[in-house]
Amino acid sequence: MTTLIDDIETPALIVNEQVALSNIRKYQDHCNAAGLALRPHIKTHKTVRFSREQIAAGAVGITCQKISEAEIMAQGGISDILITFNIWGEAKLFRLRALAENVEKLQVTADNEPVIRGLSAAFSSAAKPLGVMVECDAGAGRCGVQSAEGAVELAKIIVESPGLSFSGLMTYPAPGGAKNVVEFMRRAKDQLEQAGIACPAISSGGSPDMWSAETSGIVTEYRIGTYIFNDSSLVARGACGLSDCAAKVLATVVSLPANGRAIIDAGSKVMTSDTLGLEGFGLVVGHPDIKFTQLSEEHGTLEGATDKLKIGDRVSIIPNHICVVVNMFDTFWLQNSAGEFSLANVDARGLIT
Amino acid sequence: MTTLIDDIETPALIVNEQVALSNIRKYQDHCNAAGLALRPHIKTHKTVRFSREQIAAGAVGITCQKISEAEIMAQGGISDILITFNIWGEAKLFRLRALAENVEKLQVTADNEPVIRGLSAAFSSAAKPLGVMVECDAGAGRCGVQSAEGAVELAKIIVESPGLSFSGLMTYPAPGGAKNVVEFMRRAKDQLEQAGIACPAISSGGSPDMWSAETSGIVTEYRIGTYIFNDSSLVARGACGLSDCAAKVLATVVSLPANGRAIIDAGSKVMTSDTLGLEGFGLVVGHPDIKFTQLSEEHGTLEGATDKLKIGDRVSIIPNHICVVVNMFDTFWLQNSAGEFSLANVDARGLIT
């Protein structure tokens, strides 16, 4: 199916395939050179298509945050999946057990004993053990055990739990927190060795620090999501350039109510209110003197040099935070290297359980 | 289908039907007493079911923001629809024309001449004219003509345009801006009369001021959305009480990593990052000493007196901004007066075009 960009109804999400594939390639090369296994997080693209491209480029597997995302990816043939979430409750454990039978390698994370007990109860009769990584809080202040001692304590419980195998340590660092990760993980790894527990992998991640994160031979695996599309937050943090941004929101100017103000048909229902600490709600491509200053649900407000715009003009926006924006679209337009557009599904959109 | 709340997988959206119906009734009574036509905005509930309840209670019709929302509501049998948006472009005008043939009464808004010209071109051969209201900016600074003179100018163009009929003036006021609305609309109405143009309706709206908005016999129609479910922003603004909040997010505590911190399985992918100026991301029902302080995409951070919580506990959250939260769910659980739960679709979720 081929479509002209003028025929695309707005608001729409447009993904430049060549830029996305180039981003995949560049970071895979980086990980190969650094001796890191790359396990991309699908939360950014949410598509089987791009998961396959990441695997084909050399990724060891993928990362998902929810079972429902992993289910869709497994249906799409992805066979090595890490779910970085504490899975709890009978319904979810039942689904996790079924999922394990449909992939070659499945891992989850856990940061507390009740979750490990639940996983063990669900997998004690399984054909193969479920890999469980211990989630560590190396400074980000979200989930995770607070100390190396805490990590070893949970690793011991996993090792002793029927149906489970200890598959390593995992953390999601604060931006700029790679040094803390290395220190935490070195301590935990030493203590695991002292306890006679092998640590198959140490997994860290985060796109803001992707080019600079110190791994020191301690971190063995890197998880990132945003790098495939990039966004204005990563441009602002120097992790990529504007030309590396693969995904943009196409919008139409529908109102020019006053001097210096233009209203577009893309509001928080497509852009979301995530600012990631930036001013405004995205970069207006080709209009550095126009700011995206306000959002209602279906309207976006542009301010500045709007005198160049007329009703019906199209503008392209590079979002602040592309992951959450992709989640607002059922479908996106994929632009190939010949400039042709085809409509594709956001396979894992809205999968929250 | 009957379900126990413990069987509902989280995160989930739970709507108390009796509270929603009571909210519909109370505001309809208020409008009846005030001599105002009520035209609820479906952006909050996004369901045919509740649109029908609003009409059955006495609403004159509904308000939608996008054609796709109106299409779903028309399919569900709603016959009087106002789309408060500047409709632009061949594809959308084609759909608008088809929609007009499927409802009894269809109106849109416009705040500029190019949009009116487009509407006229699409409807010049239609069996009945399209009602067009002129959108006025009475201080909110979004869309709308900037003056009464501007409104009359566009009204004249509408009156003279084949296929269109001038159906009145519309505004979306800034919170607390009802007085400015009355002043703007009185001037515009006077000038329309002087120009010999009848003004069939003057439509204003906004939930924050719903009980107090001065209408002074000038405003004839009120549009609100949030009142059906309410949310913590309306509680904070004194427009409702906690017991009037009909829609809550059910979440599970999945991690208790440190003293004073609990992590739930509801992040920005269900809560959104909309704060509406409030601190935090929602009220934790029954836990006034716990704050909802941070969001990642799939994790929410609760801080405070979390020592009462254990892994697997369920918490109910009253969101800051319920409209955008409903849009994050494909389905919701409707709890009836007997306490039974049934799964229902969010019919207009994600309809952005």
Distance from the B100 Cα atom to the nearest Cα atom in chain A, whole angstroms:
20
Contact A327, A345 (CB under 8 A): no
Subunit contact B294:A142, Cβ cutoff 8 A: yes
CATH 3.20.20.10 in chain A is located at: 18-228
Contact A145, B257 (CB under 8 A): yes
Domain A18-228 carries which CATH code?
Answer: 3.20.20.10
The confidence score (pLDDT) of residue A3 equals: 75
Tell me how far apart the terminal alpha carbons of chain B are, to the nearest angstrom.
Answer: 33
Please, which pLDDT band fits residue B1 given cuts at 50, 70 and 90?
low
Give pLDDT tens digits for A283-304. Answer: 999 999 999 999 999 999 999 9
Amino acid at A188: A
Residue range A250-265: mean pLDDT, rounded: 98
The residue among A6 and B151 whose pLDDT is bigger is B151
Residue of chain B whose alpha carbon sits nearest to that of A328: B350
Subunit contact B89:A299, Cβ cutoff 8 A: no
Residue range B331-342: mean pLDDT, rounded: 96
Please, which pLDDT band fits residue A18 given cuts at 50, 70 and 90?
very high
Contact A46, A225 (CB under 8 A): no
Looking at the domain B19-228, which fold is it? Answer: TIM Barrel (3.20.20)
Residue of chain B whose alpha carbon sits nearest to that of A299: B142
The confidence score (pLDDT) of residue A1 equals: 54
Percent share of chain B, pLDDT over 70: 99
Q: How many CB atoms lie within 10 A of CB B279?
A: 10
Q: How far is CA B120 from CA B125, B158, B161, in A?
A: 9, 8, 6
Q: How far is CA A275 from CA A308, A319, B27, B272, B292, in A?
A: 26, 9, 35, 12, 18
Domain A233-320 carries which CATH code?
Answer: 2.40.37.20
The mean pLDDT of chain A is 96
Of B274, B298, B352, the CB nearest to A270: B352
Subunit contact A272:B268, Cβ cutoff 8 A: yes
Distance CA B51, CA B54 (A): 5
Residue range A339-349: mean pLDDT, rounded: 97
Largest CA-CA distance found in chain B, in angstroms, rounded: 71
Residue range B189-211: mean pLDDT, rounded: 95
Subunit contact B145:A9, Cβ cutoff 8 A: no
Residue range A43-52: mean pLDDT, rounded: 98
On chain B, the residues whose CB falls within 8 A of the CB of A324 are 268-269, 273, 297
Q: Which of A64-73, A147-156, A204-213, B159-168 has the lowest mean pLDDT?
A: A204-213
Distance CA A220, CA B257 (A): 24
User: Would the pLDDT of B176 be above 90?
Assistant: no
The confidence score (pLDDT) of residue B209 equals: 85
Please, which pLDDT band fits residue B28 given cuts at 50, 70 and 90?
very high
Q: How far is CA A148 from CA A142, A154, B204, B254, B263, in A?
A: 16, 10, 60, 21, 20
The mean pLDDT of chain B is 96
At residue B6, the 3 state secondary structure works out as helix
Residue range B112-117: mean pLDDT, rounded: 98
CATH 3.20.20.10 in chain B is located at: 19-228
On chain A, the residues whose CB falls within 8 A of the CB of B327 are 269, 297
Contact B210, B181 (CB under 8 A): no
Distance from the B53 Cα atom to the nearest Cα atom in chain A, whole angstroms:
24
Percent share of chain B, pLDDT over 90: 93
User: Would the pLDDT of B302 be above 60?
Assistant: yes
Task: Name the B residues in 214-253 with CB < 8 Å from any A CB.
Answer: 252
Tell me the DSSP string of B297-310: SS-EEEEESGGG--
What is the DSSP pairing of strand A300-304 with strand A290-295? antiparallel
CATH 2.40.37.20 in chain A is located at: 233-320
Residue range A261-288: mean pLDDT, rounded: 97
Q: Phi, psi at residue B336, to the nearest 5°?
A: -90, 180
Contact A254, B353 (CB under 8 A): no
The confidence score (pLDDT) of residue B2 equals: 59
Which residue in B254, B270, B275, B345 has the most chain A C-beta atoms within 10 A of its own C-beta, making it the best mutation to test that interface? B254
The residue among B208 and A145 whose pLDDT is bigger is A145
The confidence score (pLDDT) of residue A176 equals: 85
Contact A302, A293 (CB under 8 A): yes
Say whether residue A80 is in contact with chain B using an 8 A CB cutoff.
Answer: no
Those residues whose C-beta lies under 8 Å from the C-beta of residue A233, and which sit 6 or more positions away, are A208, A226, A276, A277, A278, A320, A321
Subunit contact B115:A297, Cβ cutoff 8 A: no
Contact A17, A334 (CB under 8 A): yes
The confidence score (pLDDT) of residue B73 equals: 98
Distance from the A144 Cα atom to the nearest Cα atom in chain B, whole angstroms:
6
Tell me the DSSP string of B69-132: HHHHHHHTT--EEEE-S---SHHHHHHHHHHHTTSSEEEEEE-SHHHHHHHHHHHTTSSSPEEE
With residue B333 as reference, give the H or E element that holds it: strand B331-335
Give pLDDT tens digits for A162-203. Answer: 999 999 999 999 988 889 999 999 999 999 999 999 999 999
The confidence score (pLDDT) of residue A4 equals: 84
Q: Which two tokens stand for residue A307?
A: 């005198």
User: Would the pLDDT of A23 be above 80?
Assistant: yes
Tell me the DSSP string of B162-226: TTEEEEEEEE-PPTT-HHHHHHHHHHHHHHHHHTT-----EEEE-STTTTT---TTT--EEE-SG
The confidence score (pLDDT) of residue A214 equals: 81
